[in-house]
Amino acid sequence: MAVSCDGMSDRMVAVTDAPTSVTDPLLSAYPGKITLQAPPA
């Protein structure tokens, strides 16, 4: 997992392959503040 800050959109960008059971609570706790991306192939 890698995390960076996108200052233009005021969001954290998390690059992860974690299952939704892990990421959904995080997205719910911080609505509109986190963008998830899949890791490069």
Q: With bands split at pLDDT 50, 70 and 90, how would you rate the model's confidence at 1?
A: confident
Amino acid symbol at 19: P
Distance CA 23, CA 4 (A): 16
> pTM for the whole thing?
0.76
Q: What is the pLDDT of residues 8-40, one digit of tens each?
A: 999 999 999 999 999 999 999 999 999 999 999
Contact 16, 39 (CB under 8 A): yes
Sheet holding 2-6, edge to edge: 2-6, 11-15, 34-37
Give the separation between CA 41 and CA 32, rounded to whole angstroms. 26
pLDDT at 41 over 90: no
Higher pLDDT: 33 or 1? It is: 33
